[in-house]
Homo-oligomer: A and B are copies of this chain.
Amino acid sequence: MSESNLIRRSVFFISDGTAITAETLGHSLLAQFPNVKFDIHIKPYVDSEESALNVVLEINSTAAKEGNLPLVFDTLVNPVVREIINTAHAVNLDVFEGLISKIETELDIKATTLVGQTHAVIDSEYYKARIDAVHFALDNDDGARTRHYDQADIILIGVSRSGKTPTSIYLSLQFGIRVANYPLTEEDLDDNRLPAVLRPHKHKLFGLMIDAERLVAIRTERKANSRYASFSQCQMELRAVEGIYISEGIPFLNVSEMSIEEISTRILQMTGLKRRIG
Q: Give chain A's interface residues, CB within 8 Å of chain B.
A: 7, 9, 17-21, 23-25, 27-36, 40, 42, 44-45, 69, 71, 75, 77, 91, 93, 95-96, 98-100, 102-103, 106-107, 109, 111-114, 116-122, 127, 131, 134-135, 138, 141, 165-166, 169-170, 173-174, 257-262, 264-266, 269, 275, 277-278
- Please state if B28 and A21 are interface contacts (CB–CB under 8 Å): yes
The contact of A173 among B36, B99, B135, B169, by CB within 8 Å, is B169
- Please state if A134 and B165 are interface contacts (CB–CB under 8 Å): yes
- Please state if A112 and B265 are interface contacts (CB–CB under 8 Å): no
Beyond the given pairs A28-B75, A134-B166, 20 more chain A to chain B contacts, judged by CB atoms under 8 angstroms and listed by A's residue number, are: A7-B109, A17-B262, A17-B265, A18-B264, A21-B24, A24-B24, A27-B277, A27-B278, A28-B96, A32-B77, A33-B111, A34-B120, A45-B266, A71-B106, A91-B106, A119-B257, A122-B257, A122-B258, A138-B165, A138-B169
Per CB-CB distance, the 5 closest pairs between chain A and chain B, nearest first, are: A32-B111, A18-B265, A21-B28, A24-B24, A91-B106
Listed by A's residue number, 8 A-B pairs whose Cβ atoms lie within 8 Å are: A9-B107, A21-B24, A29-B99, A33-B109, A71-B103, A118-B257, A138-B141, A138-B165
Q: Report the bound CA distance from A258 to B123 in whole Å.
A: 10
The contact of A29 among B31, B96, B174, by CB within 8 Å, is B96
- Please state if A134 and B169 are interface contacts (CB–CB under 8 Å): yes
Q: Report the bound CA distance from A96 to B31 in whole Å.
A: 12
Q: Report the bound CA distance from A262 to B18 in whole Å.
A: 6
In the bound complex, residues from chain B placing their C-beta under 8 Å from that of A138 are: 138, 141, 165, 169
In the assembled complex, how far is the CB of residue A105 from the closest CB belonging to chain B, in whole angstroms? 9
Which residue of chain B has its CB nearest to the CB of A256? B122
Q: Report the bound CA distance from A29 to B94 in whole Å.
A: 13
Known: A40-B277, A165-B135, A258-B122. A112 touches B32 (CB 8 A): yes
